[in-house]
Structure 1
Amino acid sequence: MSMLTTDKVIMNATAQDKYEAIRMAGQILKDAGHITADYIDKMLEREEIVSTYVGNGLAIPHGTKESKSAILSTGISVIQFPQGVDFGEEKAYMVIGIAAQGGEHMEILTSIAVICAEEENMEALRQAKTAEEVITILESEMEL
């Protein structure tokens, strides 16, 4: 089963602030059965400790170390924000929520960061018109 499916990708979204964007990313994971509601709180808590904005228009919200029990299965949510969402000094145009069990967490985080460090990949994600396009871009670079 793929971690990333069209029901976990939201195109052309808007959010008032980074907290709303993080809640949206978490809600997708919850609706898909990957996490319990507690994980969303831990995602917001993580943002308070250290920003999940990683640069190049990308934020990767995820829970704290204490949130492992709230993860039911590994999953990824992707939200495209054409207008961007303020994450402190920078705007995130793509928000990719992660809930990963065990050792998968760093692996997923790293591969997403590597993909999105490439300017052309981020540009393609920002310009994508469909969830399928977003999945194609991410899956071409990741072993999802």
Structure 2
Amino acid sequence: MSLPILSTENIVLNAEVENKESAIRLTGSVLVERGYVDPAYIEKMLEREELTSTYMGNFVAIPHGTEDAKESVKESGITIIQVPGGVDFGNGNLVKLLIGIAGKGDEHLDILSKIAIVCSEEENVISIVNAASKEEILDLFEGVN
């Protein structure tokens, strides 16, 4: 039985993180706990961040592993971490929404494009950051599953 790409169990509301590294570790740990990736994937997410920032604008970062992290991916999945207080991603970039991605094969490209469509609308991002329930967030990403 395969896991859904996104479910309420993959969403963390009102997270507080002290820095970019702990934000990425939290994002990765949800992917690990839910069975999408092996723990080694978290290090690959941090490695990817060192290569190039996963900050996308509109208060959104999309942490994911490097190319060679694919062997650590068991199932395609997304985790959404709401950080209303924001976390500094460097260069004055404040992140209030972390979307962790693990994709099998090339599935991450399809997942990324669907997320990009949702997050390109600033009002969607604000709705996600201010959502009081996981279901509200799930509704905004309806097309992702």
TM normalised by structure 2 equals 0.95
User: Structure 1 unaligned runs (5+)?
Assistant: none
Gaps of 5+ in 2: none
Q: Equivalences for 1:59-138 in 2 at 5 Å?
A: 59-88=61-90, 89-138=92-141
Write the letter of the residue equivalent to 2:130: Q
Runs (4+) of structure 1 exceeding 2 A deviation are none
Q: Secondary structure at the match of 1:14?
A: coil
> What displacement does 1:119 show?
1.4
Paired residues of 2:10 and 2:78 also in contact (CA < 8 A): yes
Cα-to-partner distance string for 1:75-121 (whole Å, 9 max, x where unaligned): 10000000101111211100000000012111111211121010111
**Count of residues paired in the alignment:** 142
Distance 2:144 2:112 in 1: 12
TM-score w.r.t. the length of structure 1 is 0.95
Match of 1:42 among 33, 41, 44: 44
CA–CA distance in 2 between the matches of 1:10 and 1:107?
A: 23
| C-alpha RMSD of the superposition | 0.9
Sequence identity (%): 44
Alignment deviations for residues 12-54 of structure 1 (CA, whole Å, 9 cap, x no partner) = 0110101101100100000011100110000000000000000
